[in-house]
Amino acid sequence: MNKIRKGDEVIVLAGRDKGRRGRVLARVDDDHLSVEGINVVKKHVKPNPMKGATGGIVDKTMPIHQSNVAIYNATTAKADRVGIKLLADGKKVRVFKSSGEEIKA
């Protein structure tokens, strides 16, 4: 079970975007996430008339390692760790470590 999933709001802990928040757009692989508005780079793109793409400099969101982000707890307005709790019916749910409340995704 992934502790950080698509759609979660995260806060960046390290790097040039430290302290900024964003929503997870996708999990690129087991360790990397694509976060909206975080780790945006300028990419020089060649024109491709076959695809109808114009050239120029475009902004591209690059993946960030999941160790550099933490889930954002809206009630405390801080970064929080994620724990996994087993319910009575056998389901696993993600919870905030600080308060023990369930993460709504």
pLDDT in tens, 4-19: 999 999 999 999 999 9
| pLDDT above 90 (res 104) | no
Average pLDDT, the chain: 94
Question: What pLDDT, on a 0 to 100 scale, did the predictor assign at position 105?
Answer: 64
Whether 87 is in a domain gets the answer no
Whether 49 is in a domain gets the answer yes
Q: What is the mean pLDDT of residues 34-47?
A: 96
Whether 20 is in a domain gets the answer yes
| pLDDT above 80 (res 1) | no
What is the residue whose two structure tokens read 């369930």? 102
Give me the CATH number covering residue 18.
Answer: 2.30.30.30
Q: What is the CA radius of gyration of the chain?
A: 17
pLDDT in tens, 73-97: 999 999 999 999 999 999 999 999 9
Whether 86 is in a domain gets the answer no
Contacts of 13 (CB under 8 A, 6+ apart): 68, 69, 70, 79
Domain count, the chain: 1
Whether 80 is in a domain gets the answer no
Range of the domain at 65: 9-74
Question: What pLDDT, on a 0 to 100 scale, did the predictor assign at position 24?
Answer: 97
